[in-house]
Structure 1
């Protein structure tokens, strides 16, 4: 299977599988700007509603099949099962051909083998979620990363950082006036960016809980991007455009990246009063161009707001 770009995810909206409007979202009549969707059967669904949620998911997939599949330009669609046992059942549903993959909840080294045995359909991508106490241990993350690369590497789009569960394991909840980076998650995200990023994994940033504070969300997104996060989980439609606007590449970074990857680039050069060194900045430049391909470039003009300029080759 061709590796799906993690930058195609953009803002990823989680929706309980019990929702009645999932088909409208899948086909773009609702939230047409959405890039990726997770139909959740885990934390967002109460135990008593699991059978209803599974039935609703089946009805959704049957409706997609009846329309001939998801349309071009539709958001990427993932399913988050409750555990590996549920995943094994869903893995064998023929209707799962209409889904891009699974979000794997609470992945650890100890349950990795169970997930490997459950998700054998190689047409389904995987997004494991790091959200258990083991995540605070860098050695455990090194081992998990190595194990993932040895078994499921080509199917993993990105690793999702489960901020709420990680904070909950410490008995904490973020303060309403600060970003996640004013909590122990600052250490966790920086550590994961180094440990997992150096092994080649992309990471997506945790949710932002304060729906009435868009400026604080933007501040947190700046820190997400500075730590190399490729996308962010959204918990409400009002967050989608803010996340995706923030993920767009600045024109200055875009131009610098083009110069750095050029075959004619000198060993060291100055651009906009910043030193550029292709030997050390090449990987950054490639990621910037990939991000721009999927999410666009911010075009700033005097007296106007930033408007995205999407590039040729982007899916949307």
Structure 2
């Protein structure tokens, strides 16, 4: 069975299945920097347009098939079914061979079994979305995490945090002057990073829907990364490069990670006035190298260039 790295997701762009330009994005003719995309049949499609959207999805997959499949340098392709009943139908489409996986909306313990029965194709990877009121309960999340590990663990790339739906549970909408971390979502993200992260799941960050405040997007991305989130939903193509540039690692972190993973590294050592302990920082170091593999390294500040080069050589 193939594997997909959660760090390969980068900025994930959602596109309603009713759009006519999806094929150009899939085939890398539009948005060449995009790493992953979701063709949405759920919230982005009105009830009266569902049949049209399904027909458009079938047409999209047929066009991909007629072109010999997707290009290797194109974005990962996911489909978000409306519910488990729709997923069961899509699961049996032979053309699903051209799709990497499903995004499962509004997953909870109450519908988990329905999703398990619906998506039986072992080649379809899964990205469950946490966006129901149960998400506010850490005990419920411990239970859900254990259930996911039991039956679906090998197929789950990442868990997606549905920020707008979760705010909707509280009757709230994003404050245009602050990041999500200054709202009740700050607690939710921190809790999920601990509860689900400690069970081995990767998590992606909620969408930032305020296009007029890119400085807040960058501030929120810094906090996303500080909480260990591996990617972020993009609401607009203009956000793609900002999200993926933020996922680049610093030379300092890259060199530190390499030193920690060196087979002759001491049990504890000082690196740039910071204590490093490979036994406890091993997972952090491997995650840094994986992020660097997919997103590269941030450009060093001019004043840091000489030191960065020296550290890079030391980490070889």
TM-score by length of 2: 0.95
Which moves more between the two structures, 263-272 or 106-115?
A: 263-272
Q: Distance in 2 between matches of 1:239 and 1:213?
A: 11
Which blocks of at least 5 consecutive residues in structure 1 are unaligned? 305-316
Q: Distance in 1 between matches of 2:27 and 2:269?
A: 47
Q: Distance in 2 between matches of 1:303 and 1:263?
A: 31
Q: Distance in 1 between matches of 2:249 and 2:47?
A: 42
- Matched residue SS, 2:225: helix
- Greater share of helix: 2
What is the aligned partner in structure 1 of residue 69 from structure 2? 69
What is the aligned partner in structure 2 of residue 187 from structure 1? 187
- Matched residue SS, 1:103: strand
Q: CA deviation at 1:301?
A: 4.5
- Matched residue SS, 1:59: helix
**1:216-262 deviations in whole A, cap 9, x for unaligned?**
10000000000110000000000000000001111100000000011
What is the aligned partner in structure 1 of residue 15 from structure 2? 15
What is the aligned partner in structure 2 of residue 161 from structure 1? 161
Q: Distance in 2 between matches of 1:3 and 1:100?
A: 10
What is the aligned partner in structure 2 of residue 3 from structure 1? 3
- Matched residue SS, 1:110: helix
- Matched residue SS, 1:85: helix
| Matching of residues 106-145 of structure 1 within 5 Å | 106-145=106-145
What is the aligned partner in structure 2 of residue 58 from structure 1? 58
**1:101-140 deviations in whole A, cap 9, x for unaligned?**
0000000011000000000000000000000000000010
**1:187-206 deviations in whole A, cap 9, x for unaligned?**
00000001000000000000
| Matching of residues 1-316 of structure 1 within 5 Å | 1-302=1-302
Q: CA deviation at 1:272?
A: 1.6
- Matched residue SS, 1:69: coil
Q: Distance in 1 between matches of 2:150 and 2:218?
A: 36
What is the aligned partner in structure 2 of residue 311 from structure 1? none
Which blocks of at least 5 consecutive residues in structure 2 are unaligned? 305-316
Q: Distance in 2 between matches of 1:12 and 1:273?
A: 37
**Number of matched residues?**
304
**1:266-285 deviations in whole A, cap 9, x for unaligned?**
11111122111111111100
Q: CA deviation at 1:3?
A: 2.5
Q: CA deviation at 1:214?
A: 1.1
Find runs of 4+ consecutive structure 1 residues off by over 4 angstroms.
none
What is the aligned partner in structure 2 of residue 308 from structure 1? none
Q: Distance in 1 between matches of 2:146 and 2:282?
A: 24
Q: CA deviation at 1:299?
A: 2.6
Q: Distance in 2 between matches of 1:298 and 1:245?
A: 8
TM-score by length of 1: 0.95
